[in-house]
Chain A
């Protein structure tokens, strides 16, 4: 009997030590639909999908595919059952071409040699089917994130996926790229593919999905057809109470200049100029937003600033101190808080405990280090931080790698806010956070602004940028091509600037 559902997960329970990640979860997906999966940070979305993809084994419950019971012991089982998953952290080899990445592990052969021509042929064929094109010979490291994501999707399709899991695919995309992704999703579902779509942006749910399932604290709350719900309703279901969003923003009179950058030039890893004569200042109580399509030098700018990358030329001053050429330890010791975009490469050590992670950058602080580390003081302090930022589960001894995406982000933020004295650099601070948490983060940033911090915000989320930033600068190909007070912006002009179209009209200089 062919079931109406491609996928039925029944009574799924998954327990990690003290944490119940999934509890008796029921999840049914119809063929050919986009089914959104939403829930707060740590609600258990990724866990449920990892169970479906064979990364975790459930402690209880069963999975049926096309009405037949399926036992999925490993990702290769899942691929064999035509399930594909695009993880939030892409798994591509940067130095390989698109084609090489695509066939990794399932290489077509001609005799004993690789048949790359055949692979490229199939990629072109798939391109037609999906409604987007990718140059099979392009190297991944040269591709923008949006393209890399398509490669991931195509990689799954190449392996024969009919059921595609996308775990927070839009959090790394610009609004335009997200639109393109939705287009691709539509094309795929028209061809009978089924897509499970995890996101924190409810607008995207309303726009793309036919059904939505809400998880709260590991349990299924409900599954609804999309036309029987709305954003507010979903938010309510997710949180279980009413959330108030976007509180107002105070007027803050900017004070003295705290951060000064002048004539910054640097080269990227391939010896190209990635920063070309960048200058800006940030004043106390000011949030400088740096907008722009990812890959236009924002990462390098932050690296240079944090002392993680050498400047070829230029000068950076923090609080009146010349920090040009200083290494990260010096800059951190000046109290520069840094919320990086890539957690597990920059701010969280997966294999260290949460408590140990909260100590990063503080280990020489006399509050925690006397004759040896003051274990009790550290415990108390870490406990305070994770409670302040409501990190779930509030356990200090679990490895940080076990935290859900959003909770890891909160933990980082708690630490960095505590460390910073006058300066904060926040890169995509709300990536992967649920609406409540985003609001929380925004409040925190605004609170610091009120207290006279100089804040640099790098975000691809236009809405966030317009809400938070006092001054917005647009970065394009390693240059700050324009900078203006927030009130002077309209989205259209910003879009043009981000695409590299310089204004004809005069405006405030970038420095």
Chain B
């Protein structure tokens, strides 16, 4: 009973914090709207109504939240291992392009198989993109925070090039030809373009939970994240584990792009992502890396976004207000976050190399 109490308290704390952050942000928004001379109550009514009231609002929200949730899961898996994958945006672009390429070049495949093939290539490409910074971190101690972030630009510009020149559909727009019907994700609602990707991300969240909590690899990932030095001394190959975590993370990042593009756009459009990867990072922070929490936080984020459009129509409050709100939420959540050891952690995982051992010795030596 006491243990259940403990668990309950932990869960309450896990939910309480983010909720508090959200409440605080909303109250600050209230003040801002007031100062801007608008009616805060009306604005929030429009915002929330536009996000969660009525079928079409809910559907729009869900469409928006699908890529965000997938990106959030990508961040969470790396994060569990103590690695920062800031490169989900780039993995998402490359994954999306890979999926589309399979979608419009290969003809005559049965639908399910075509989708699987597209998503498979997207996962491989995303994983490969995450592999580079992971190896650089292990081999030379290069901060993966910086490298993953830089690689985003490379990925984004590279796909820009691809869609502007070699794979450009004739016409004015920077986009590829449309994918075959067989590669499209099944559409659940024509009006909102809600697609089965929604179920896919739920499945991803469940699989991610299972992976982290119930598999040996997930255990190694979590232990490495909690204490690299103890994990290594206990015989977990921390280097290999970190690389695997990044590979999985990158693969999910690639899938996030594939799902969005196969489900909604059906072709690669230059710069199609309004920052899903970054939203994923935010959502993952908000949910503290808990996959099921990411589902909730992702829907919340999607809601803010789709509600913002409605609010802008209905009142004079610009939708950029919502961007500020999101930033404030993250600020509050992150304020708590800095207390976690992840920020105090040395920027390099210990590894078998003699060089990295230097850093290890200080912590791994006698208890002095």
- Give A residues with C-beta under 8 Å from B: 17-18, 88-90, 92, 94, 140-141, 145, 148, 172, 268-269, 294-295, 299, 303, 306-310, 327-329, 331-333, 338, 340-352, 356, 359-361, 363-364, 368-369, 372-373, 375, 395, 397
Contacts and interface: CB of A to CB of B under 8 A. Distances in A.
Contact of A94 (B232, B237, B362): B362
A299 B354 contact: no
B161 interface: no
Interface string B345-368: 000000011100110111111111
A363 B362 contact: no
18 contacts: A18-B2, A90-B367, A269-B361, A308-B233, A309-B354, A327-B237, A332-B235, A341-B366, A342-B364, A343-B367, A345-B233, A346-B230, A349-B226, A350-B227, A352-B226, A361-B234, A363-B220, A372-B210
B6 interface: yes
A90 B368 contact: yes
Contacts of A369: 215-216
Among B6, B234, B353, B358: residue with most chain A CB under 10 A: B234
B235 A329 contact: yes
Contact of A308 (B357, B362, B367): B357
A294 B358 CA distance: 19
A313 B173 CA distance: 64
A169 B4 CA distance: 38
B219 interface: yes
> Is chain B's interface secondary structure helix, strand, loop, or mixed overall?
helix
Given A327-B352, A372-B215, A373-B219, A299 B234 contact: no
A342 B365 contact: yes
A372 B214 contact: yes
Interface in B309-368: 352-354, 357-358, 360-368
Nearest to A327: B352
A361 to B, nearest CB: 5
A375 B216 CA distance: 11
Given A299-B366, A308-B357, A356 B219 contact: yes
A360 B223 contact: yes
Given A363-B220, A373-B219, A345 B364 contact: yes
B364 A346 contact: yes
Interface in B110-126: none
A375 B214 contact: yes
A338 B230 CA distance: 12
Contacts of B367: 88-90, 172, 341-343, 345
Interface in B185-219: 210, 214-216, 219
Given A340-B233, A341-B366, A351 B2 contact: no
Contacts of A368: 216
A347 B230 CA distance: 5
**Which of B220, B230, B361, B362 has the most CB atoms of chain A within a 10 A radius of its CB?**
B230
A4 B112 CA distance: 85
Contact of A348 (B2, B230, B364): B230
Given A18-B2, A345-B230, A310 B354 contact: yes
A341 B231 CA distance: 15
Nearest to B350: A308
A368 B215 CA distance: 10
Contact of A359 (B214, B219, B352): B219
A148 B368 contact: yes
A11 to B, nearest CB: 24
Looking at chain A's contact residues, the main secondary structure is: loop
Nearest to B358: A269
Contacts of B233: 306, 308, 328, 338, 340, 345-347
A266 B190 CA distance: 69
B152 interface: no
Interface of B: 2-3, 5-7, 210, 214-216, 219-220, 222-223, 226-227, 229-237, 352-354, 357-358, 360-368
Contact of A145 (B219, B231, B232, B368): B368
A145 to B, nearest CB: 6
Nearest to A18: B2
Contacts of B6: 17, 397
Contacts of B220: 363
B201 to A, nearest CB: 21
A356 B362 CA distance: 25
Contacts of B354: 309-310
A190 to B, nearest CB: 28
Nearest to B211: A372
Contacts of A172: 366-368
A306 B5 CA distance: 41
B365 A299 contact: yes
A145 B230 CA distance: 22
A361 B235 contact: yes
Contacts of A307: 352
Contacts of B222: 352
A18 B4 CA distance: 11
A145 B235 contact: no
B357 A364 contact: no
Nearest to B240: A329
A406 to B, nearest CB: 14
A329 B237 contact: yes
A343 B2 CA distance: 28
B234 A347 contact: yes
A349 B216 contact: no
The 10 closest A-B pairs by CB, nearest first: A332-B235, A360-B234, A372-B214, A346-B233, A310-B354, A363-B216, A342-B367, A18-B2, A329-B235, A349-B227
Contacts of B214: 372-373, 375
Contacts of B361: 268-269
Contacts of B365: 299, 342, 345
